[in-house]
Structure 1
Amino acid sequence: MSEHNAIDDLSHHRKFKRRPMQVTDAQELAVSYAATGLTEHIRLQESDGRVLAADMIAPHPFPAFARSGMDGYAIRSADTSRCELGETVWLKVVDEIPCGYVSSIPIESGTASRIMTGAQVPEGADAVVMLEATEIRHEGSETMVGIKRPLAPGKNITPMGFELQEGDLILRKGTKIGPGEISVLATFGLHQVEVYRKPVVGIFSTGTELLDIESPLEPGKIRNSNTYMLASQIREAGGVPVIMEAIPDRIELAKQRVEEALAEYDLVVTTGGVSVGDYDIMGELVTSGSMEMLFNKVTMRPGSVTTAAVKDGKLLFALSGNPGACYVGFLLFVRPAIRKMLGMEQFYLKEWTAELGADYAKVNNFTRFVRGRLEVQGGKLIATPALLDESSVMITIKDSDCLIVIPPELKGAAKGQAVQVLVLPGAWT
């Protein structure tokens, strides 16, 4: 046997001798290598969907002044004490206070000021009587307001600092910014925010069988759909995808392209080339000694050949070329890494308990992550497995909103059985 053939046989043997790692262990290992990214300051109006890189602290109380909770009259509550005896109390109206106007006339015993909802309560007033609970009469040039019921101090007034005091935490570092967050930041005049820079993710597909999506079909060829699916998943996770030209089945070229991508981008994801076939170049690349392999087999179906490696502190994820396995592999491993790089606190998919909506008979030594649909029936959360859930099947990806977790010890699962489900991004939120 030639030296060249002996090396080929050894490499082939290594590929078939993969040692599987438990899913949770593989997740934790991969995420441990994901470094929280750099930060940048951006305008508030550009921050939707970004992740805060610093705690946001209230620069002043909110509200910044005591404000009226309704249209009515600002008064001294002590003036209404005689109303307890059934007497109508008449107070002289000394001012009218619209929103944005600060009255210079303090409220004294026997006086009131007309006030609008949200306006600053004048000095001396400690209650606001609603407009509908008053009556008006005129005595010469003076307007008098009549009140028939007693009011407690503070009635219908929102005190200064009712929501937040100066120095209080508004939003915690790691918060994803949305409409509510933008509203509160704008309220405090925080027009610039420090956010984590979006990680830039390079995407490769491998395989000479791949066609561009604009190309007509050819015998034995398939269109490069995984790349575009991954790009969409990366955007949802918070990253910036960069689609690169597919790599043909040549190990040296693949090594060069991947190393160039790792030098340029924050993270690299490939799809295809991780099985045990003669042309599965990513499986060869991560064991070639040019990078540190973290794992190349995981106790899961689909996607047991999901592979991860690290070079110069940057992660490479090599996912299966089968659409279903590629999709699941991204959700379980790549998405958590991106979310950690963004500074998010919640890396992994939400996990709920549901009742299985149909029998699932497949048995395997590895945990299955079965595409499915969630619905509420009779107050119960029901998870129904997709009819087509093979690793190579892509059509049911669009119809699923959860992954049903079927551990090997269940030996399949019966309808009505309690199961754990992982809620897919954007579903049920």
Structure 2
Amino acid sequence: MSKSEELKSDKFQRRALQVKEAQAKVMEYAKMLDLEEVPLSSSSGRYLAEDVFSPHPFPAFNRSGMDGYAIVASDTEECGNGNVVWLRIVDDIPCGAVPSVDLTPGTAARIMTGAQVPTGADTVVMLEVTELQVKDGHKYTGIRKKQEAGRNITPCGMEIKQGELVLPAGTLIAAGEVAVLAAFGVHTVKVRRRPKVAVFATGTELLEVHEPLSPGKIRNSNSPMLEALIREAGGEPVMLGAIVDDLELARSKVQLALESYDLVITTGGVSVGDYDIMGDLVREEHADMLFNKVTMRPGSVTTAAMRAGKLLLALSGNPGACFVGFQLFARPVIGQMQGASHPFLPECTAVLGADYTKVNNYTRFVRARLENREGIVYAIPATIDESSVMVTIKDSDCLVIVPPEDKGLAAGAKVTVLMLPK
């Protein structure tokens, strides 16, 4: 680590870690939780805990893609030039029924979309291009155009073969995954338990949301934001209110939470002020501090520790920094606890849509919105992205990664962005 990354000697004896190094440290302690089974109807938003293999091919039979007639394609060789081939209709197959007879040359079966194609048939001709007549008490279908084998039939196993891996463990279940599981008769799904995440805010200056403003006070907006973010990440938030700037009170409340829940997140109290109690708490002998500074803006004071065998994440009290800290550290921890195969925010490349002139010796994670202009994706940085600014959070769908430089980035530069969940 370079000299510039060494921690200045202050009351917290901070040593700054790179973001990826800090992420690796917390992920080491993000252990997967116990298995549980949930009904398929309740599985959306959960992560599969085991691989799912197909118990049968899908579709399980040759399936008609049209309303029409199942036929033997070679019967239509003489069609054309006004010549009509008449085939005797020997079966009527609605969707959900099983063919009653096999087809032989010279015969046809009336069939509906999605129905099982009879053995012997190798194509389905659409109803609109056929004719119908009755002769000697028997129905015949007339075909004027030569038909190719394989048309309008979805073969057995075309989508998925028997024994094939359908969904790997760690898959986030959404509507498409629910459909696949239902198609294979998976009516209960093995998932990992949702982590119970305790949330504290710290600061004597905090008011509850319903309280009127008073001089020197601010409403606690971080806790409701964290509650929503935890739910989005698949966790179960447990809101434990705000703690005044009292170390003894904080110690007892945090200790009880660590004993009762899977993860504890605090916001505020991690800077270098005289009343920043979380910084003091994580340095106590009962805590194994993982880090208390990260080379990032906003949120460089983001702190993590192990205490009572549980992970404690102390995020900045500034809303913008709290939001970024959650996305970079808390979200992947909550995901990995549920067995997510991809717990980190997905990365992609975009074109910077406006100049970004702010410089820093730390990596910046700039709130931005994406915009598609003639097929090119642009990332438009928020005009105000200070750590204390809250309003631009709602307008952002990505974080632009601005590496440490002595100059800003010009519009048109290619940048890496982290996609925010929506």
Query: TM-score normalised to the size of structure 1?
Result: 0.92
| SS of residue matched to 1:122 | coil
- Greater fraction helix: 1
Q: Which residue of 2 aligns with 1:126?
A: 122
Contact kept in structure 1, 2:363 and 2:402, CA below 8 Å: yes
The equivalent of 2:346 in structure 1 is 350
1:166 maps to which residue?
162
Secondary structure of the 2:215 match is coil
Q: Aligned partners of 2:191 and 2:379: how far apart in 1?
A: 37
Deviations 1:295-320 (A, max 9, x none): 00001111111000112442110011
Q: CA offset at residue 84 of structure 1?
A: 6.7
Residues in 2 aligned to 1:84 and 1:167: alpha-carbon distance in whole angstroms: 44
Query: CA 1:60 to 1:253, structure 2 compared with 1: closer, same or farther past 3 Å?
Result: same
More displaced stretch, 78-87 vs 53-62: 78-87
Match of 1:153 in 2: 149
Count of aligned positions: 415
**Residue identity opposite 1:106 in structure 2:** D
Instruction: Determine the C-alpha separation between the residues in 1 that align with 2:63 and 2:352.
Output: 53
More displaced stretch, 393-402 vs 274-283: 393-402
Gaps of 5+ in 2: 1-7
Conserved 8 A contact 1:15-1:283:
no
Pairing of 1:275-290 with structure 2 (within 5 A): 275-290=271-286
Note the 1:202-221 alignment, pairs <5 A: 202-221=198-217
Which residue pairs with 1:44 in the alignment? Answer: 40
CA gap 1:355/1:91 in 2 versus in 1, 3 angstroms: closer
Structure 1 equivalent of residue 415 of structure 2: 419
For 2:154 and 2:415, the matched residues in 1 are separated by 48
Give CA deviations for 1:235-262 in whole Å, capped at 9, x if unaligned: 1111111100211212122111111111
Which is worse superposed, 84-93 or 256-265? 84-93
Structure 1 unmatched ranges of 5 or more: 1-11
Q: What does 1:18-417 align with in structure 2 at a 5 Å threshold?
A: 18-83=14-79, 87-417=83-413
- Structure 2 residue identity aligned to 1:21: L
- Give 1:26 deviation, angstroms: 0.6
Once the 2 structures are TM-superposed, how far is the Cα of residue 108 of structure 1 from its aligned partner? 2.0
For the residues of structure 2 that align with 1:145 and 1:378, how far apart are their CA atoms? 51
Task: After superposition, give the CA deviation of every residue in 1:81-101 in whole Å (9 maximum; x if it has no partner).
Answer: 333787422211122111122
Does the Cα contact within 8 Å between 1:282 and 1:318 map onto a contact in 2? yes
Residue identity over aligned pairs, in percent, reads 59
1:94-134, Cα deviation, whole Å (9 max, x unpaired): 22111122232222222212111111122322222222222
Moved more, 22-31 or 366-375: 366-375
Aligned-partner residue type, residue 217 of structure 2: K
Greater Cα offset, 70-79 or 192-201: 70-79
The answer on whether the counterparts of 2:361 and 2:406 sit within 8 Å (CA) in structure 1 is no
Deviation at 1:151, TM superposition (A): 2.7
Deviation at 1:382, TM superposition (A): 2.1
- Aligned-pair CA distance for 1:364: 1.6
Q: Quick check: 1:33–1:313 contact (8 Å CA) kept in 2?
A: no
- Which residue identity does 1:221 align to in structure 2? K
For 2:301, the aligned partner's letter is V
Q: In terms of mean alpha carbon deviation, does 391-400 or 295-304 score higher?
A: 391-400
Query: 1:199, 1:266 within 8 Å by CA — same for their partners in 2?
Result: yes
**Shift in Å at residue 421 of structure 1?**
1.9
Question: Residue 229 of structure 1: SS of its match in structure 2?
Answer: helix
Would the alpha carbon gap of residues 327 and 113 (structure 1) be closer, same or farther in structure 2, given more than 3 Å must change?
Answer: same
Q: What is the alpha-carbon distance in structure 2 between the residues aligned to residue 52 and residue 32 of structure 1?
A: 21
Partners of 1:222 and 1:339 lie apart in 2 by: 31
CA contact 2:71–2:103 (8 Å) conserved in 1: yes
Q: Letter of the 2:184 partner, please give it.
A: F
For 1:129, the aligned partner's letter is V
Q: Give, in whole Å, the separation in 1 of the partners of 2:11 and 2:355.
A: 35
Q: Counterpart of 1:324 in 2: which secondary structure? A: helix
What is the deviation of 1:80?
2.2
SS at match of 1:180: helix
Asked if the contact 1:79/1:110 (under 8 Å) is kept, the reply is yes
**CA–CA separation in structure 1 for the residues paired with 2:403 and 2:101:** 73
Contact 1:34–1:314 (Cα < 8 Å) also in 2: no
Does the Cα contact within 8 Å between 1:75 and 1:113 map onto a contact in 2? yes
Which runs of at least 4 in structure 1 moved beyond 4 Å after TM superposition?
none
